[in-house]
Amino acid sequence: MHFLAYILRQTGKNLRQTWGTQVMTLLTVTLSVLIFAFFFLVYTNMLRASTRLGDDVRLIVYLDQEIPASTRPELEKKIRGFGPVEKIVFVSRAEAFARLSTQLGKEKDVLNDLGPDFLPPSIEVYPLKNLGDLTKISQFSDFLLTLPHAAKVQSGSDWLRRFGYFTNLLQVVVLLSGSLLIISMTFIVSYTLRLTVLSRQGELEILRLLGATSAYIRLPLLLEGMLQGLLGSGLGLAALYILYQWIANRFSGPGFLSLFDFAFFPPEITTAILLAGVLLCTAGSLFSIRRFIRI
Amino acid sequence: MLRDASNDKPLVELVNVTKIYPPDVVAVEDVSLRIYKGEILYLTGMSGAGKTTLIKLICRLETPTRGLIEVAGRDLSQISTAGIQRMRQKIGVAYQEFRLLDKQTVLQNIAMAMEVTYASTKAIRARVDELLSLLNLSDKRDKLAGELSRGEQQRVALARAAANGPSLLLADEPTGNLDPAATELVINLFRHLNEKNGSTIVVATHDESIYAETEHRVMALSNGQLSALPNHAPRQIELFEA
Ligand SMILES: Nc1ncnc2c1ncn2[C@@H]1O[C@H](COP(=O)(O)OP(=O)(O)OP(=O)(O)O)[C@@H](O)[C@H]1O
Ligand SMILES: [Mg+2]
């Protein structure tokens, strides 16, 4: 079958004829994949981190009087009415005192002078640990303050909320760089292909006269787009991996990154990005072929 | 190869074909013509008579304003894109203005015609060498087409048209730039294709010398209208009886 050999040879010819532009296109595709994949990587890591934040995500409502067991279910229902909650714990004065004294251990003597009444009763609310709720924590705590007998609400650590906001911001960045990726790939690739078509205008015209089939004329151009997509996203991901390795080595040990347990994409995501790159570039070349080639 | 065609189905049939270029240039008017398998047909006529237009109509580079054109029994107005592509692979056309790629070599130019049929590189090389030697161009094989003389380019265009051993060869003014010796080579190529390959050949020309002694049909176009040339009309009667 000489068919494949011809298509491949023609593709090679096209690439050689416009190689300067081809390199620029490849770089553009690589760069946009790199930018997108970078933000996406940070984002997915933050997402994973947020699910492991643990007890820090806790709201404590201090009360000015004990809540009798009989009214607890009603209160609980009210809290759950506001948003998804993992669990709610009612802590009475006595329980709070007992907890503190076990925490103090040997030094619990300091409590002797104080009666069990000095600690206020409280309700501990554990919201579901997902990002949407992290950013809603301040609203949640405002709400909790309106509960009967609520005196004060202590809402976890402030940085948690910031973390939530930051991750949301990152989500926007990921979406933006994703759109940039789509635009750059389809447009740049279709533009480059237009150059290929123009540089071969005379040849294409003759091929038409000689009865070249649509496949003979179009497949090499389609292949060109696919190659750009495959090479571009491959290089982009490889660059990101090198960057990731560098960062991981640089900041290994205890610290920010170990907190997040920074990890590279699993193979499925890598494959998906690669495929998306090929698909987008192929779409770009299809667009050009339909537009500029008349059979 | 002169065939008695009266019972054959024609390879090319034109029925009352008129071609008007916008806005109102009548290039071909009400032409009916049958071209039979294996024949050599000379089309003559003054400049602007419509010879090139007729050839373009047959390979569907132009579509008729009115009338029917059939090639190998298929109505060209009904044929699909893929069908036209297949048909063009079997029709060799040597254009009046050559249409070569100046920046490619002679070999590459001729090879293109065979490449679109996915012929093997070896077969292409052999065929190109054969054609170039028939046309006395062997030493020009690796020269750029743009650097050749008009007469050489003309022969390259013919070689490309003949490359696939076409069932129909349309040659538009194939000897316009050639000296008598080169003209002889071209005529021999036609004869070779016609006899060895059974190719049907249509030659548009106003070079009287190439059809003066022929035993084949010669048709004259004049202001877009076709008539058989008086002293070359062996089959004129059979032609119009249909
Ligand atoms: N693309 C076109 N658009 C408009 N008019 C055209 C076109 N091509 C040809 N014509 C006109 O149609 C008529 C026939 O032209 P054609 O090229 O068929 O003549 P010809 O017999 O091949 O002439 P020559 O011997 O000079 O090659 C001429 O009057 C020409 O001006
Ligand atoms: Mg002409």
Give B35-45 pLDDT, tens digit per residue: 999 899 999 98
- DSSP per-residue letters across A17-69: HTHHHHHHHHHHHHHHHHHHHHHHHHHHHHHHHHTT-GGGS-EEEEESSPPPG
Chain B CB contacts of A212 under 8 Å are 85, 116
Nearest Cα residue to atom 8 of ligand 1: B53
Average pLDDT on B179-184 reads 87
Q: What's the CA gap between A219 and A10, in Å, rounded?
A: 9
pLDDT higher than 70, residue A39: yes
A163-175: average pLDDT: 81
pLDDT of residue B126: 94
pLDDT band at residue A168 under the 50/70/90 scheme: confident
For the ranges A7-16, A136-145, A230-239, B221-230, the one whose mean pLDDT is highest? A230-239
pTM of the model: 0.72
The one-letter amino acid at B36: Y
Tell me the CA distances in angstroms from A129 to A52, A54, A152, A261, B232, one per residue in order. 8, 8, 22, 18, 98
Residue A287 has pLDDT above 80, yes or no: yes
pLDDT, mean of residues A54-62 = 72
What ipTM describes this predicted complex?
0.86
Alpha helices, H only, B91-120: 106-115
Residue B96 alpha carbon to ligand 2 centre in Å: 6
- Cβ atoms of residues A46 and A118 within 8 Å: no
Closest to A270 (Cα-Cα) out of A247, A242, A243, A236: A236
Pull the structure tokens for residue A232: 């571009």
> How high is the pLDDT of residue B242?
37
Nearest CA to ligand 1 atom 26: B47
Asked which of A155-159, A263-267, A283-287, B127-131 is least confident by mean pLDDT, the reply is A155-159
Q: Does pLDDT of B4 surpass 60? A: no
**What are the pLDDT digits (tens) for B76-135?**
999 988 899 999 999 999 999 999 999 999 999 999 999 999 888 899 999 999 999 999
pLDDT for the residue numbered A25: 84
Q: What is d(CA B124, CA B111) in angstroms, rounded to the nearest whole number?
A: 6
Q: Is B118 an interface residue toward A (CB < 8 Å)?
A: yes
CA-wise closest residue to A60 among A145, A129, A131, A181: A145
**B205 Cβ below 6 A of ligand 1:** no
Name the burial class of residue A148, with classes exposed (0-12), middle (13-18) and buried (19+) by CB atoms within 10 angstroms of its CB.
exposed
Smallest CA separation from ligand 1 atom 16, residue = B50
d(CA A240, CA A234): 10
Q: What is the pLDDT of residue B35?
A: 92
From the number of C-beta atoms within 10 Å of its C-beta (0-12, 13-18, 19+), residue B47 rates as: exposed
Q: How far is B88 from chain A (nearest CA, A)?
A: 5
Contact B118 A210 (CB under 8 A): no
Q: Does B99 touch chain A (CB under 8 A)?
A: yes
Query: Closest to A6 (Cβ–Cβ): which among B90, B101, B115?
Result: B115
Mean pLDDT to the nearest integer, A120-138: 73
